[in-house]
Structure 1
């Protein structure tokens, strides 16, 4: 465990106060909250709590990196969704050294392609465990085309609608159906290193490989190795309590990518706190002193999924068309070893 920090420790009182304040705040009041850091469509910050960090530069070949990522996965046509690269500045929060914000980093096409890979492919990989595995036996859908370069075996496919998830202990839990699994029960999935949420540690066994296309994308943009990730799925009303990520064996940065509905993100060290409104396509890098900052999500903002994403996964998936309208998907990636 990094720096011998206690993964079970309680966050400072000041951070708990800030978290509760935004948990109770009505979504309609967010725009008028003077201490909330948020960015407009041109990636301009709402207040002076952040400043541009000119020492951090995105790769000069970012367009080529993103284009290559798209070319690796052509299952779904994204006609009508423009590939526009904004090249927005990277911002830092001065009172939290190492906390960097990349507003509007990922264009719409990249975000949709990420959703395809994460939710049609990676949650269907038996090597990637979910919260549902804790109490249920999890069945797996069959690939649509096993010969395809990126085979899709999706729980969203109509052919998977009758899968059954029997409980490990029928006296404690009821069976689940695919609709129950996708609508509310699926809360997280681990990629690469399979984190044990109960023991708050990584198993000593060799972890499954991190998805290579996601690994390449992360590592060419951010100063870290992608070895483990937690994919969180939220609905309005869901929260993530304040915590620190301290189980990795090194202090390499941690990166968080947001997709779907807006989220309020609280981050802090001691008495210093920053509250961010994260939108779809934003990324946050926790590095330096802020690598071990307390952080949590007190609110998911309903009705804020971008219009071009609302229909995901699309009409070919029948009842699941529009699933993203009420969801936030967060990919939180970290390096496990020095």
Structure 2
């Protein structure tokens, strides 16, 4: 599983792949629906047409259900089980894996984490608990001294009355002083959450400037999230992750993930608003094989095999597409009975796309 020697972390993407990226970046949002060049596996938007671009791989093993039972409380899983019975087609999508024929190794798990409670639980853990852990750095740490509220461990890892979140009403007065006052102004918590926060690292703390992982030992990867990823995708180990946060108008430029010391597959899980995901490889003849996929909340992408080192990026986030059951977060979730704590951040998730990108660092 060694990294190919001809991979350059600083290389520029091929023009043909950039052209597809720019096309979808500029395309009118209304034209995305049923677009012939956009793979969309949603049952409500060209599911049958999308199947022409992919191959059915396998039915996921039934014991994967136990993964979610362990991740959630048993009572919650019983609720989601009832939801599945009311939507047979959604269940079919959840239990199916597809491979993009043009890019062998690019696997799609449509709505792999579809159920309301699964997605809300993951948001709670990542944005309440893990964002509040000083060991997990963000893009804001580069220019600001980030202040944290006093917190104590909550036992099972979930947010509780003894653990503070940046979304909590008690954090309303937090202000982050700039490291260089001549360059940046102080940052309020509202500015941090609404505009400035773009990414957070878990486990291995990736250095975006040097394009490498530090040689020092990384902080622990959140155990429950790691267990979920490792068991859903047993062909890789969750050792590092980048949590990207987008709003409509935000993009992620074309790049390749080449800093890991092995070529184990990458796993990406989407939450919130739809995102257009471009992925492509340049052939020896200069021709490019490019796939554009509309990723919806709960969808998972695996980049393995030939597609492991494909160029990929997000040219646009589609506004107004966050599922109804997520729009009210953080008032919705494991703590939805504690409205007073999160009232000021009501519907924060309505205009957001969250993407959890997980990778294995070492062979």
Task: Name 1:63's counterpart in structure 2.
Answer: 65
Residues 266-281 of structure 1 correspond to what in structure 2 (within 5 A)? 266-270=278-282, 271-281=288-298
Aligned with residue 56 of structure 2, among 49, 52, 59: 52
Q: Distance in 1 between matches of 2:37 and 2:154?
A: 52
SS at match of 1:65: helix
Task: Name 1:140's counterpart in structure 2.
Answer: 148
Instruction: Give, in angstroms, the shift of residue 32 of structure 1.
Output: 3.2
Q: Is the alpha carbon distance of 1:231 and 1:301 closer, same or farther for their aligned partners in structure 2, counting shifts above 3 Å?
A: same
Instruction: Give, in angstroms, the shift of residue 334 of structure 1.
Output: 0.2
Q: Distance in 2 between matches of 1:113 and 1:149?
A: 12
Task: Name 2:8's counterpart in structure 1.
Answer: 6
Asked if the contact 2:135–2:219 (Cα under 8 Å) also holds between the matched residues in 1, the reply is yes
Task: Name 1:324's counterpart in structure 2.
Answer: 349
Aligned with residue 100 of structure 2, among 93, 102, 110: 93
Aligned with residue 247 of structure 1, among 238, 246, 259: 259
Instruction: Give, in angstroms, the shift of residue 26 of structure 1.
Output: 1.2
1:197 is the counterpart of 2:208 = yes
Aligned with residue 119 of structure 1, among 107, 127, 149: 127
Task: Name 2:168's counterpart in structure 1.
Answer: 157
Q: Any unmatched runs of 5+ in structure 1?
A: none
Q: Distance in 2 between matches of 1:177 and 1:171?
A: 17
Q: Distance in 2 between matches of 1:80 and 1:116?
A: 18
Q: Distance in 2 between matches of 1:156 and 1:124?
A: 10
Q: Distance in 2 between matches of 1:125 and 1:179?
A: 18
Instruction: Give, in angstroms, the shift of residue 164 of structure 1.
Output: 1.2
Instruction: Give, in angstroms, the shift of residue 88 of structure 1.
Output: 2.9
Asked if the contact 2:60–2:95 (Cα under 8 Å) also holds between the matched residues in 1, the reply is no
Task: Name 2:304's counterpart in structure 1.
Answer: 287
Q: Distance in 2 between matches of 1:194 and 1:63?
A: 31
Task: Name 1:334's counterpart in structure 2.
Answer: 359
After superposition, what is the alpha-carbon deviation per residue over 1:138-185, rounded to whole angstroms, capped at 9, x for unaligned?
011233x64543253310000011111000000001100110000010
1:296 is the counterpart of 2:299 = no
Instruction: Give, in angstroms, the shift of residue 201 of structure 1.
Output: 0.2
Q: Distance in 1 between matches of 2:22 and 2:44?
A: 30
Q: Distance in 1 between matches of 2:49 and 2:251?
A: 24
Task: Name 2:247's counterpart in structure 1.
Answer: 235
Asked if the contact 2:69–2:77 (Cα under 8 Å) also holds between the matched residues in 1, the reply is no
Instruction: Give, in angstroms, the shift of residue 41 of structure 1.
Output: 3.2
Which shows bigger deviation, 131-140 or 313-322?
313-322
Which protein has the bigger helix share? 2
Q: TM-score, normalised by structure 1?
A: 0.93
Q: Distance in 1 between matches of 2:154 and 2:33?
A: 49
Q: TM-score, normalised by structure 2?
A: 0.87
Q: Distance in 2 between matches of 1:105 and 1:132?
A: 31
After superposition, what is the alpha-carbon deviation per residue over 1:245-303, rounded to whole angstroms, capped at 9, x for unaligned?
00000000000000000000000011000000000000000000101000000010000
After superposition, what is the alpha-carbon deviation per residue over 1:73-102, rounded to whole angstroms, capped at 9, x for unaligned?
x9xx89987653824310001111100000
Q: Is the alpha carbon distance of 1:147 and 1:98 closer, same or farther for their aligned partners in structure 2, counting shifts above 3 Å?
A: closer
Task: Name 1:103's counterpart in structure 2.
Answer: 110
SS at match of 2:13: coil
Aligned residues: 332
Instruction: Give, in angstroms, the shift of residue 60 of structure 1.
Output: 2.3
After superposition, what is the alpha-carbon deviation per residue over 1:215-271, rounded to whole angstroms, capped at 9, x for unaligned?
100010112100000000000000000000000000000000000000000000110
Aligned with residue 219 of structure 1, among 203, 223, 230: 230
Asked if the contact 1:38–1:45 (Cα under 8 Å) also holds between the matched residues in 2, the reply is no
Asked if the contact 1:188–1:231 (Cα under 8 Å) also holds between the matched residues in 2, the reply is yes
